[in-house]
Structure 1
Amino acid sequence: MTENSTKTRDQAESAFSRTQTQFMARNRTISEIDAVAAEREAKTLRLRELRLEKEAATPVKVAVPRKSAKR
């Protein structure tokens, strides 16, 4: 009876270990994806700020329509 119990327990521990490993791998992957998304968002914000600063520093050229010469 104890032999059967030990075998069942070993199988259960093995199944739990596999499940736990998959869960940990999934969490690690999700963490990596979140980190990449956060880096992308930070870079986008930084580039947007630089673009807006550049646009603010650049004088705006206003196009004045030319008068057409009469022939």
Structure 2
Amino acid sequence: MTEHISKNRERAEAAFSLTQTQHLSRNRVVSEIDAVATARNEKTARLRALRLEQDAIALAQVAAKSDKG
């Protein structure tokens, strides 16, 4: 009888270990995806700010030229 309980326990521990490993792997992947998304959003915001700055400079140049001529 002890042998039967021991084998059941071994199977349960193996199943738990597998589940725990899958959970940890999933969390790691989600963290990596979040990091990539954060980096992408930061880069997009930086590029948008640069584009808006360039647009403002171009608009100012056009306004300056139209004032002269």
Q: TM-score band, normalised by the shorter chain?
A: 0.7 to 0.9
**Runs of 5+ consecutive residues of structure 1 not aligned to the other structure:** 62-71
- Mapped partners of 2:57, 2:2: distance in 1: 81
Larger radius of gyration: 1
- Aligned pair count reads 61
Structure with the larger helix share? 2
Q: Deviations over 1:4-53 (max 9, x none)?
A: 11110000000000011111111111111111001000000000001111
Q: What CA RMSD, in Å, does the superposition of the two structures yield over aligned residues?
A: 1.1
Residues 10-49 of structure 1 aligned to structure 2 (within 5 Å): 10-49=10-49
Using the size of structure 2 for normalisation, the TM-score is 0.82
Moved over 2 A (4+): none
**Matching residue of 1:68:** none
Using the size of structure 1 for normalisation, the TM-score is 0.80
Q: CA deviation at 1:60?
A: 2.6
- Mapped partners of 1:11, 1:55: distance in 2: 65
